[in-house]
Every structure is written in structure tokens, then in C-alpha cells.
Amino acid sequence: MKVLLDLQYLNVATTGIKTYMMELAKAAIQNPHPEIEWIFSHDPDEQAKDNTHKSPKNKFQRLNYHLDYFRWKEFQLPDMIKKHKPDLLICPDFVSPAAKLPCKRMTVIHDAFFWEMPQNYPKWWRTYFLGLVRKGLKEPTEIVTTTEFSKKALIKHLKTEHPISVIYQTPKSLGTDRDSSILERYNIGSKAFFLHLGTFDKRKNLPILVNAFKEAKEKEKFDFKLVLAGGEGQSIQMNDFPIVENLVKELGLQDEVVLPGFVSDAEANALYENAYAYVFPSENEGFGIPVLEAMAAGVPVIHSDQPALVEVSKGAGLIAKTGSVTDLREKMILLAKDENLRNDLKKRGLERANDFGPGKFIKAFQELILSARP
């Protein structure tokens, strides 16, 4: 069975899709199957380093990227298929070519955000992108998604007869390096801190976390800091970083809330290693990779009651009501006071994280691939 994995999108991916693509490629290399031959459209490491289209500074640069992406999907990728003659094409970035292909397809649609949260995307771009998604589903395609929750959402919005399979992904491999200089640089090594690591997308509900932290400090003797690490949201509509930054100033929390921006894997390891707890108040997730990263690092987790997160954590996290400052505040206070609860969450989190290794991730793909044999 010859399988072509489309990795072109790695040249701009910065969030969970990048993790998905990189970990799938690495797992395929590290876990060979005698009946599967993998062909990568690009070298994953080299493609991820390509900065040609990253962080466009104007409309012309954004348009140039979209044209490049369209050329790849509709012309260059079909040409590669003609050259290599794979039995199966896997597109892990929502979009498969609209052209008729001589092979079967699997398309990974990670979540239903584009349908459920239209306010977070430019109208023209959302219309264009959803058009690409639907055109790529015209031919027989196996859709792959990340959770049972996402599957139900896609069935509702796509109204498709294509089969949809759930494959739990694996969190990002952060390696073993530790860069503890970040603790000294932001003066967070001497005080316990709550951590959120991820982009400042609006759906992450980070203003709610800041307000909950402020109220916890006012209600109790709450001698903690709050570290919000990660890059800005992916678009003007989605970016909450300026809002969070202004809120921190308005609440007088400049000395208590740390905004270090994007951090390296080595810095992320140091933050996870020293965090008192990880807090993830997101209002909508298809999976929730940071929850598993934190659990794997032995960090207790507080997360919202968003269904995908409840499904992934499976009782190993402390659940707070989505969008409620009061409930999130109380959960943070509870965890700060109850060391037995904290230790129990650490133990359950480590056990749950073991269910999401790269071996299980690729095995599920291998089984689905082999089931697609002619």
C-alpha cells in the first residue's frame, strides 16, 4: 500500500495542525509497517523551517500565499500523484484537491470552527476556504477527525455521506532540553504560578482567566503568578493579545501576570516543569493538545467543560464551567488549597497521557489505511 502524505501546509502552520502533521510524519518514520510505503510530499523539518509565507505583513503577501496554496492543491499535488502513483492520498489540513484523482483519499478535518465560529474569520476567506474543503470532498473520501465530539459536529455541518473516523492524535514531542533562563528572565522562578501555553485566539477565553485570577487574589490570600505564554491570535478577528495586555494593565496586574510571548520547546519544558497547574478555559476545541502536554509533564490541569476537552481528559482534569469567571476562580482557589486534590490530578493526568502516545496514533492510521486497500 503506497501512501502519499501532503505536508505542504507546514510552511505556514503554527498551531495544532502543525503538531498533527509533524507528529504523524515522525510516527510514520519511527513505526514502519511492512505493508505500507510512505511518500512525503516535502521533508517535514525543512518545510516547517520555510519562512517564505509566514507572518504576512500586507494583503499582497497574504494573497500570494493563498495563490501558492491553491497552485499546490489543484496542480502540483495532482502532478505528484501522477508521478508516484500512490494508492492513497492523506491531506491533514482540511483540503484535498478538487481534481479527479486516480487514488483513494483521506482528509483530516480537525474541528468545526469554520462553521461554528464564523465571527472569528474574515467573511471572504471563510467562504473561499470552506469552498475548497467541500470541493475536495466530491470524490470518495474517508474523513478523519480528532474526537467523537468533532465527529458529531462535522456530521451536523457537512451533512456528508462520507465515512468519518476518529483517531486520537498525540501531543507534540517537546524533547528533553530545558531552558530555565525563562524563569529568571520573567522573575517567575521563586513563586508558584498557574500556566496557559497557547495562542491568544479569542476562543481560548484568556480575558476570563485573567479576571478569575484577579478575583482569586482579592477573595483569598492567593500568592501566585499567572503565566500566559504563546503567540498572538492568527488574525485580527481572532487575536485577543491586545485585549489581554490592556486588561492586565487596567487590573493593575503587571507584576503578577507574565506575557512572555512565543516560547521555544525547551522553554515550554521549563514552564511545564515548574508550573503549579495548567489552566485551559477554552470555549471551543477539537482536541486540546496542551491539556495532554501538561498532563504528560505531571502538571495538574483545570479545563473548561467544553465536550472535546472532557472527552480527552476523561476525568483526569478539574472541570470549570465554560465562560464563568466565578467558577474558574473557585476551581483555582480549590486547587491552591487542596494539595491532596492536586496530587490526585497529577497522578490521573500522567495515566491519561499514556493513552495518547505516537505508537497508538500511527497504529490507528495504519489500521485505517489498510482497511482502504482495493
DSSP 8-state assignment for residue 72: I
SS3 173: coil
**Predicted confidence band at 220 (pLDDT cuts at 50, 70, 90)?**
confident
Q: Which percentage of the chain shows pLDDT scores above 90?
A: 74
- pLDDT band at residue 268 using 50, 70 and 90 as cut-offs: very high
pLDDT in tens, 316-343: 999 999 999 999 999 999 999 999 999 9
Instruction: With a cut of 90, say whether residue 160 has pLDDT above it.
Output: no
**If DSSP codes are grouped into helix, strand and coil, which group holds residue 291?**
helix
Cα–Cα distance, 208 to 194 (Å, whole number): 14
Higher pLDDT, 66 or 178: 178
What pLDDT sits at residue 235?
67
Domains of the chain and any CATH numbers = 2-170+357-371 (3.40.50.2000), 181-355 (3.40.50.2000)
- H-helix or E-strand containing 225? strand 225-229
Written as one string, the DSSP assignment of 198-251 is S-BBGGG-HHHHHHHHHHHHHHS----EEEEESPBPSSTTTB-HHHHHHHHHHT
Stretch 241-255: mean pLDDT, rounded?
95
Question: Cβ atoms within 10 A of the Cβ of 291, count?
Answer: 27
Reported as a pLDDT band with limits 50, 70 and 90, residue 255 is very high
Do residues 162 and 142 lie in contact, with contact meaning Cβ atoms separated by under 8 Å? yes
Helix (H, G, I), strand (E, B) or coil at 338: coil
Interval 93-132: pLDDT, tens: 999 999 999 999 999 999 998 899 888 788 888 898 999 9
Per-residue model confidence (pLDDT) at position 82: 96
DSSP state of 203: G
Q: Which cell is 69 given? A: 496554496
Q: Following CA atoms 216, 284, 298, 223 in sequence, which dihedral angle do they give, to the nearest 10 degrees?
A: -10
Would the pTM of this model clear 0.75, i.e. be above it?
yes
Question: In angstroms, rounded to a whole number, what is the distance separating the alpha carbons of residues 167 and 48?
Answer: 23
- What's the confidence (pLDDT) of residue 12? 85
Phi, psi at 153, each rounded to 5°? -65, -40
CA 66-126-261 angle, 5° bins: 75
Grid coordinates representing 359?
505508537
pLDDT value at residue 183: 93
85's CB contacts (< 8 A; 6+ apart) are: 2, 102, 103
Residues in the chain: 374
| 166 phi and psi angles, rounded to 5 deg | -100, 125
Extended beta strands in 12-58, E state: 37-40
Report d(CA 164, CA 158) in Å as an integer. 11
Gap between the Cα atoms of 289 and 278, Å rounded: 12
Least confident among 55-64, 101-110, 250-259:
55-64
Look at residue 161 and tell me whether its pLDDT is greater than 90: no
Per-residue pLDDT tens over the stretch 294-318: 999 999 999 999 999 999 999 999 9
Handedness of CA 300, 13, 1, 70 (dihedral sign): positive
